[in-house]
Amino acid sequence: MAISQQHNEAMASQSEQIHETRIIDVVGLGKVFDQNGQPLTVMERVNFHAYEGEFVSIIGPSGCGKSTLLNIIAGLDDQTEGSLKLRGEEASDRLGTVGYMQQKDLLLPWRSVLDNAIFGLELQGVSKREARDRASVLMEQFGLDGFESEYPSALSGGMRQRVAFLRTVLADQQMFLLDEPFGALDALNRSQIHEWLLGLWERLNKTIVMVTHDVDEAIFLSDRVYVMSARPGTMRLVANVDLPRPRYLEMVTSEGFVELKTELLSAIRRESAS
């Protein structure tokens, strides 16, 4: 299954028919940092979009600008050039409009599971009582029922990630950005949380954009996968994942999964070597 430019355009056209609203639309995005007085171009001419309710992953070599792209979408940084629209509108003031789960869970060790989950709501000015009420109704859905009073040190890696994701979900945004959210988990915990996350995503009907180095993870979770080039990063290709939903772990050995994985790994190797 060769992924050519024509193939990309055909897939994009197919997606346009399935989805209606581009909730994130990035065109010609570039970012230049100042490094000791010298310009360092991290990204250039990045085109990217995600439809409402879609799960999209971004993979690519280390240092290609994946996390920088998420930071810009989240409003933690600004692009040097290009345009960014959220829900069809130019988005100059984005901070707080997108749920963002970064690489580390960033749980506060002195706060319980429940109080870590509501930390974002408290920062928004929600009273502790109301925030706790909102979080409590979701504890069972997030597999945290009975652990409300525990502290992060008593939790497994997978449970810590669930607390961090609950905190992100409670921000009640339509878009979630996930930056290597499961990188610290072992293979068993990761596969379990993948299935849990897909079930939750299907119930919540949110848009998720995830950065990952794990090609299997990207394919298993996503509707589409973007591959970024080596720095300065740009989008080299985008591939639809045609696996049916709901997804099951047994799919990772299917012919379609293996074929797409081979293509994506080849693309990453080419970019890493360039």
Q: Look at residue 261 and tell me whether its pLDDT is greater than 50.
A: yes
Q: In this structure, is residue 111 part of a structural domain?
A: no
Q: Model confidence over 4-63: pLDDT tens digits?
A: 443 454 444 444 444 577 999 999 999 999 888 899 999 999 999 999 999 999 999 888
Q: What would the two tokens of residue 227 be?
A: 């591959």
* pLDDT confidence of residue 173: 84
CATH number at residue 21: 3.40.50.300
**pLDDT > 70? residue 119:** yes
Structural domain total, the chain:
1
Tell me whether residue 132 is in a domain.
Answer: no
For 58-92, how does the pLDDT look when each residue is reduced to its tens digit (9 = 90+)? 999 888 999 999 999 999 999 999 999 998 888 77
Residue 87 lies in a domain: yes
| Residue that wins the pLDDT comparison between 105 and 27 | 27
Give the global pTM.
Answer: 0.86
The verdict on residue 75 lying in a domain is: yes
Q: How far apart are CA 167 and CA 117, in angstroms?
A: 4
- Tell me, yes or no, whether 14 lies in a domain: yes
Cα-based distances in Å from 177 to 10, 75, 98, 100, 207 = 26, 12, 7, 5, 9
Three-state secondary structure string covering 155-177: CCHHHHHHHHHHHHHHCCCCEEE
Is residue 268 in some structural domain? yes
Give percent of the chain above pLDDT 90.
Answer: 59
Average pLDDT over residues 194-209: 89
Average pLDDT of the residues of the chain = 87
**Lookup result for tokens 């193939």:** 7
Residue 130 located in a structural domain: no
What range does the domain containing 15 cover?
Answer: 5-91+203-237+254-273
Q: Is 144 inside a domain boundary?
A: no
Mention every residue, 6+ apart, whose C-beta is less than 8 A from residue 255.
none
Q: Would you state the pLDDT for residue 11?
A: 44
